[in-house]
Amino acid sequence: MKSLKQFLILAEVLLIFLIVGYIIYERLPEKEVENSAVLIQEMLVQSQNYRDYSLTEAFKIGRGGLEKAIRIKNDSLTAEFYLVLGKNLSFQGKNKEALPYFEKALEFSRKINYPRVNALL
């Protein structure tokens, strides 16, 4: 059961990695793509991976990624990070604190008609 959970988490991380990479590649100038894509993808992966070991660290990494996504004005990445932050709080049993993050994820997702986050929420 534990290996199945790890496999599903790894599959989700890989999917996010591919989607985020494609989105960043399509939206940013070539030099920024190389720098921003690697950094932001690593932050998404780290936030997902740390969730199993340190929810506090996962949340901290997720907040940093959210700030960077907002800074480059990428709504799909912003939606992804709001979703990740909401999940991290939810896993801690902090559902009331998670709700605003899920709402913001949905807001950004609907704004750009981003089906991945819409489907998850």
Report CA torsion sign: 103, 107, 110, 112.
negative
Q: Domain of residue 82: give its range.
A: 2-120
pLDDT digits (tens, 9 = 90+) for 11-67: 576 556 556 665 555 655 555 544 665 666 667 666 666 566 677 777 787 888 888
CATH code at 69? 1.25.40.10
Q: How many other CB atoms are found less than 10 A from the CB of residue 86?
A: 25
Number of structural domains (the chain) is: 1
Burial of 6 (0-12, 13-18, 19+ CB in 10 A): exposed
CA distances from 49 to 21, 62, 74, 108 (A): 18, 11, 23, 24
pLDDT digits (tens, 9 = 90+) for 66-109: 888 888 888 888 888 898 888 888 888 889 999 999 999 889 88
pLDDT digits (tens, 9 = 90+) for 6-24: 666 665 765 565 566 655 5
